[in-house]
Structure 1
Amino acid sequence: MNIEHYPEKKVFQTTVDGETARLMYHVTDGALDVRHTIVPDEISGRGIASALVKAAYDYALVNGLVPVATCSYAVVWLERHPEYNGKTGKDYAGEGTCAL
């Protein structure tokens, strides 16, 4: 899977079987906050969201940013990967939610 990063748009994305999955983030106060992940139903269940979140947080760590999650998927991902030392964002609204 080829994940592309568009830092000017603050987006990571990949295209699988003609469908594009995206992760949107904000950078503020020394943190990279994953705000939203979108994986079309046609390609869900293949680990694409996980790969996008990992790419974003790997980028954060390489660039000295703290991984933060406002998107509920990213919150769960950070809970499963404590080695990233991530935090839940102040705008997190609970399970099944993402903020733009």
Structure 2
Amino acid sequence: MNFTRSENQIALHNESGELLAEITFPYIDNNTVDINHTFVDPSLRGQGIAGKLMNELTDELGRRELKAVPTCSYAMGWFEKHPEYSHLLK
């Protein structure tokens, strides 16, 4: 699975370039992002794609030395279930 990364998005596209899954995290300030949106196309639901997006995001946060404030309901629940990543939260 090849996710593409941009400054404030990690996404998965099909061969035609159509968006299949994404997580967005715009900056709140220079060191903090707001995890504000998680999307997985219905055709991929139930396959753990949202969790894989979160894993990619936590890697990205650590690499860029950023903290996060999750406002997306999925991200909030994911961090509650994965307290080992609480050091990434502001």
Shorter-chain TM-score tier:
0.7 to 0.9
Instruction: Give the superposition deviation at 1:62.
Output: 1.6
1:73 and 2:41 aligned? no
Structure 2: gaps (5+ residues): none
Runs of 4+, deviation exceeding 2 Å: 15-19
Q: Which runs of 5+ in 1 are unaligned?
A: 89-100
Q: For 1:58-69, what aligned pairs fall within 5 Å after superposition? A: 58-69=59-70
Q: What percentage of aligned pairs have identical amino acids?
A: 31
Who is 1:14 aligned against? 12
Which structure: greater helix fraction?
Answer: 2
CA distance in 1, matches of 2:6, 2:25: 11
Cα distance change on mapping 1:65 and 1:47 into 2, 3 Å: same
Q: How does 1:15-30 map to 2 (within 5 A)?
A: 15=13, 20-29=20-29, 30=31
Partner of 1:34: 35
User: Structure 2 vs 1, CA of residues 3 and 16 (structure 1 numbering), >3 Å: closer, same or farther?
Assistant: same
1:17: Cα distance to partner?
Answer: 8.1
The TM-score, its normalising length taken from structure 1, stands at 0.74
TM-score by length of 2: 0.81
Distance 1:37 1:83 in 2: 20
SS at match of 2:20: strand
Task: Give, in angstroms, the shift of residue 46 of structure 1.
Answer: 0.5
What is the Cα-based RMSD across aligned positions, in Å?
A: 2.1
